[in-house]
Chains A and B, each alone.
Chain A
Amino acid sequence: MDYLDRLEAEAIHILREVAGQFERPALLFSGGKDSIALTRLAEKAFRPGKFPFPLVHIDTGHNFQEIIDYRDKLAASLGEKLIVRKVEDTIRERGLREPGGKFPSRNPLQTYTLLDVIEEFEFDACIGGARRDEEKARAKERIFSVRDDFGQWDPKRQRPELWNIYNGRIQKGENVRVFPISNWTELDVWNYIQREKIELPEIYFSHERQCVVLPSGQLLGLSEHLNLDDTDEIVSRRVRFRTVGDSTCTAAVESDAHSIDDIIQDLLLAKVSERGATRLDDNLSETGMEDRKRNGYF
């Protein structure tokens, strides 16, 4: 068996464990390549049956339109249920403060919407496309990761996770975050997308886009959500996105890659990590991700 077959078999096994162990699981779907790969894995795990979980999208309202279009099209073609909950609604209902500044990322606010939707549907397991190679705090997380009543992760009290035996027993109010592609790297995901001939949102391929040049040199796609001032330099560049997320804190990379082959070539030569190249919010502090995960962030 090739290594991709092994990773695929591991992920399918994990998805089926979720189906076997939980009453109300959900698959958190962002419209990015990792969660798109997850839906393909779910097809392999459960077809010809239906998915034993809905797709849940926590919509920051800061998405690129291509992602939203793709999301709706994919859910329809899969014939699976899609639940969308908007961060905007949470902000209004809970009287939260909109982030300020030039780049008002709603990433931290997603946590409130996520915890609300978990409570609303009483989800006992949430499947996500996080990978351990993304970030150092993620590298520490179990495949079945138990969260308390408040959605909090306590890295010091993680359950031992032995062999491929996953313990999903929880108390009322707790839930489990499940990461079937924990052991995949960014390159593995691209190789899988190529092998499986999976269609992706256009945003992943090279296109001309108006961008703001940040002091770091990173390029941020122009959007109505940015609060720019006169001194900001707007340029037109050929870019693509390595990862999709809140458009106010996810940078684009300059690229001429038009196909998955091109992207894989790009990646083999890349000297900068996925998050380093694209995320603005992880750089705020050294333990940014750990702190957010402790509070229930996905």
Chain B
Amino acid sequence: MDILRFITCGSVDDGKSTLIGRLLYDSDSVSLDVLATLEKKRTATNGDSVDLALLTDGLKAEREQGITIDVAHKYFTTPRRKFIITDAPGHVQYTRNMVTGASNADLAIVLVDARQGVIEQTRRHTLLASLLGIRHFVLAVNKLDLVGYDEAIFTKIVADYQAIAEQLKLASVVAIPLSALHGDNIVRRSKHIPWYDGPSLLEHLESVPVAADANPSEPRFQVQYVIRPQTEELPDYRGYAGRIQSGTYHAGDKVRIWPSGLETVLETIEVNQQAVASAAAPQGVILRLRDDIDISRGDTIVPFNAHPAVVRELEATLCWMDERPLRAGRKLLVQHHSAVVKAAVTTILQKTNIETFESVGTDEAKLNDIVRVRLKTALPLVADDYLNNRDTGAFILVDDQTGATLAAGLITTTDPEYFTQEVPVEATFSI
């Protein structure tokens, strides 16, 4: 059985938490004791029906305000698949939490209130989700009960969203008319919506193919931790523990260590103390090499014929997450998985207008802005473009004083030749 990780997004009050509550409830994934708590709440507030949103809004402040502030993770299983749901906040103020959720998702459910249609948050979240490499989108047109299950309203919203999908070149969009409150087309097909003959939301989630999608074949492995038991039995053992980020590794292959560029042979691959002939992403392994070379945490080991970019200058898209704006010249840390290097933002090139997806020139990035920047690093990074490798193309920016996470970074260019040219001024959106 495989796992599908998906995120729900959309604006405040579009009914994301209710949708998840309904998905859990109608698929019999809610325990009796948890339901009993909801029932108690209903009696207390004289409500007509159980508030399914309370299944996910777990913080005191969320219950007080009736909104989702931070990401909640929920889990359920059907005979066909295991699901990890990331319930992300819709409020603009908590966009960074939405990005947190989207960075690990395979699929995004974008909710739209049938009465409101496509709004700025729909565009913002679709942009962020597509930027973060999500390929599969579900346009969930919710609250259809409040517009008399009107097909024309659904069709209009689908057409509006299609324009966004085309602009962002979304690979796969499936639109489903539904009512989370009443359970229409969530788990079971709805009798109220006879004009729709597509799958229910759950049917779609169970069948959408995702696993093979983002699995680049170029091998990448970064050292997380060096294992040296230094015991009597194993006085000279030296193993490089880490995770295969992409591709497959074979014992006996000639390999190179980056950024040093040194060459050696991959003597053994160990998984759970057993030598194996080969191993593939996302397995955690220990690699042992023929020669005693100076290798430490953050170094990358790749087969001889693999060619990651090894750069000290790169261009990236940032989702800026700090209250203090970013200006060019700022020094900070790049954390690229287990590699942490000092860096400076040399230029802020442009900012994406969420409304139009067009790019405009700017000299600063404010909270929740999406900007393109150039970065210089103090030591070389072994990296890829995010479009080619969602793992090695990602990094975070960290404040070296407070330790705060400042931004999500997606590498757009590592080509050294590119950096000898003038700063390009582009009027169109590109990621």
User: Does chain A bind chain B?
Assistant: yes
Residues of A within 8 A of B (CB): 1-3, 5-6, 8-10, 12-13, 16-17, 19-20, 44-50, 52, 132-133, 135-137, 139-140, 146, 155-156, 158-165, 167, 169-171, 182-183, 185, 187, 270-273, 276-277, 286-287, 290
Chain B residue numbers with a CB within 8 Å of A161 are: 100, 405
Q: Is the CB of B56 within 8 A of A139?
A: yes
Q: Is the CB of B82 within 8 A of A139?
A: no
Q: Is the CB of A163 within 8 A of B391?
A: yes
User: Is B84 located at the chain interface by the 8 A CB criterion?
Assistant: yes
How far, in whole Å, are A293 and B33 apart by their CA atoms in the complex? 22
User: Is B291 located at the chain interface by the 8 A CB criterion?
Assistant: no
Q: State which of B228, B239, B272, B398 has its C-beta within 8 Å of the C-beta of A44.
A: B272
Least distance between A44 CB and chain B CB atoms (Å) = 5
Residue ID in chain B nearest A196 by CB atoms: B272
Query: Within B34-68, which residues are at the interface with A (CB < 8 Å)?
Result: 34, 37, 55-56, 58-61, 63
Residue ID in chain B nearest A146 by CB atoms: B403
User: Is B116 located at the chain interface by the 8 A CB criterion?
Assistant: no
Query: Within B316-347, which residues are at the interface with A (CB < 8 Å)?
Result: 321, 333, 335-338
How far, in whole Å, are A298 and B273 apart by their CA atoms in the complex? 32
How far, in whole Å, are A170 and B336 apart by their CA atoms in the complex? 18
Q: A158-B70, A162-B99 known; A272 and B284 CB under 8 Å? A: no
Chain B residue numbers with a CB within 8 Å of A46 are: 225, 227, 241
Residue ID in chain B nearest A187 by CB atoms: B77
Q: Is the CB of A162 within 8 A of B225?
A: no
Q: Is the CB of A163 within 8 A of B224?
A: no
Q: State which of A3, A9, A48, A160 has its C-beta within 8 Å of the C-beta of B283.
A: A9
Q: State which of B84, B338, B391 has its C-beta within 8 Å of the C-beta of A183.
A: B84
Q: Is the CB of B37 within 8 A of A139?
A: no
Q: Is the CB of B284 within 8 A of A45?
A: yes
Q: State which of A20, A139, A169 has its C-beta within 8 Å of the C-beta of B225.
A: A20
Q: Is the CB of A271 within 8 A of B227?
A: no
Q: Is the CB of A6 within 8 A of B3?
A: yes
Q: State which of B82, B227, B408 has its C-beta within 8 Å of the C-beta of A3.
A: B82
Q: Is the CB of B403 within 8 A of A169?
A: yes
Selected A-B contacts with CB under 8 Å, 10 pairs: A10-B282, A46-B227, A46-B241, A48-B229, A49-B229, A162-B405, A165-B395, A170-B403, A270-B31, A290-B59
User: Is B402 located at the chain interface by the 8 A CB criterion?
Assistant: yes
User: Is B370 located at the chain interface by the 8 A CB criterion?
Assistant: no
Least distance between B72 CB and chain A CB atoms (Å) = 5
Q: Is the CB of A155 within 8 A of B335?
A: no
Q: A132-B75, A273-B31, A290-B58 known; A163 and B103 CB under 8 Å? A: yes
Residue ID in chain A nearest B59 by CB atoms: A155
User: Is B69 located at the chain interface by the 8 A CB criterion?
Assistant: yes
Q: A3-B3, A48-B227 known; A160 and B96 CB under 8 Å? A: yes
Least distance between A197 CB and chain B CB atoms (Å) = 13
Q: State which of A170, A171, A182, A273 has its C-beta within 8 Å of the C-beta of B33.
A: A273
Q: A160-B408, A163-B103 known; A13 and B398 CB under 8 Å? A: no
Q: A13-B224, A16-B225 known; A48 and B273 CB under 8 Å? A: yes
Could you give, for residues 252-276 of chain B, a 1 whenever the CB lies within 8 Å of some chain A CB and a 0 otherwise?
A: 0000000000000000000011000
Chain A residue numbers with a CB within 8 Å of B74 are: 133, 139
How far, in whole Å, are A293 and B31 apart by their CA atoms in the complex? 23
Interface majority SS (helix, strand, loop, mixed), chain B: mixed
Q: Is the CB of A183 within 8 A of B75?
A: yes
Q: A3-B82, A16-B284, A155-B70 known; A160 and B237 CB under 8 Å? A: no
Chain B residue numbers with a CB within 8 Å of A5 are: 283
Chain B residue numbers with a CB within 8 Å of A271 are: 31-32
Q: Is the CB of B284 within 8 A of A12?
A: yes
Q: Is the CB of B73 within 8 A of A9?
A: no
The residue in A16, A156, A160, A271 that gathers the most chain B C-beta atoms within 10 A of its C-beta is A160
Chain A residue numbers with a CB within 8 Å of B229 are: 48-50
Could you give, for residues 229-248 of chain B, a 1 whenever the CB lies within 8 Å of some chain A CB and a 0 otherwise?
A: 10000100101011100000
Q: Is the CB of B284 within 8 A of A140?
A: no
Q: A160-B97, A165-B335, A167-B335 known; A49 and B228 CB under 8 Å? A: yes
Q: Is the CB of B398 within 8 A of A156?
A: no
Q: A9-B243, A165-B335, A167-B403 known; A20 and B395 CB under 8 Å? A: no
How far, in whole Å, are A164 and B224 apart by their CA atoms in the complex? 13
Least distance between A183 CB and chain B CB atoms (Å) = 6
How far, in whole Å, are A270 and B229 apart by their CA atoms in the complex? 44
Chain B residue numbers with a CB within 8 Å of A20 are: 224-225, 297, 338
User: Is B92 located at the chain interface by the 8 A CB criterion?
Assistant: no
User: Is B208 located at the chain interface by the 8 A CB criterion?
Assistant: no
Q: A17-B338, A48-B227 known; A182 and B73 CB under 8 Å? A: yes
Chain B residue numbers with a CB within 8 Å of A165 are: 335-337, 394-396
How far, in whole Å, are A51 and B104 apart by their CA atoms in the complex? 29
Q: Is the CB of A162 within 8 A of B75?
A: no
Q: Is the CB of A1 within 8 A of B282?
A: yes
Residue ID in chain B nearest A41 by CB atoms: B284
Q: A45-B284, A47-B273, A276-B34 known; A287 and B73 CB under 8 Å? A: no
Q: Is the CB of A273 within 8 A of B34?
A: yes
Residue ID in chain B nearest A277 by CB atoms: B33
Residue ID in chain A nearest B271 by CB atoms: A44
Q: State which of B60, B61, B243, B396 has its C-beta within 8 Å of the C-beta of A167.
A: B396
Q: Which 5 A-B pairs have the closest CB atoms?
A: A276-B33, A136-B58, A169-B403, A273-B31, A12-B284
Chain A residue numbers with a CB within 8 Å of B97 are: 158, 160
Q: Is the CB of B243 within 8 A of A163?
A: no
User: Is B171 located at the chain interface by the 8 A CB criterion?
Assistant: no
Q: State which of B31, B71, B239, B243 has its C-beta within 8 Å of the C-beta of A272.
A: B31
Taking A20-B224, A162-B100 as known contacts, 8 extra A-B pairs with beta carbons closer than 8 A to each other, sorted by chain A number, are: A9-B243, A16-B243, A20-B225, A46-B227, A162-B99, A162-B394, A163-B390, A165-B335
Q: Is the CB of A290 within 8 A of B60?
A: yes
Residue ID in chain A nearest B54 by CB atoms: A136
Least distance between A220 CB and chain B CB atoms (Å) = 17
Q: Is the CB of B70 within 8 A of A9?
A: no
How far, in whole Å, are A54 and B72 apart by their CA atoms in the complex? 31
How far, in whole Å, are A158 and B321 apart by their CA atoms in the complex? 12
Residue ID in chain B nearest A50 by CB atoms: B229
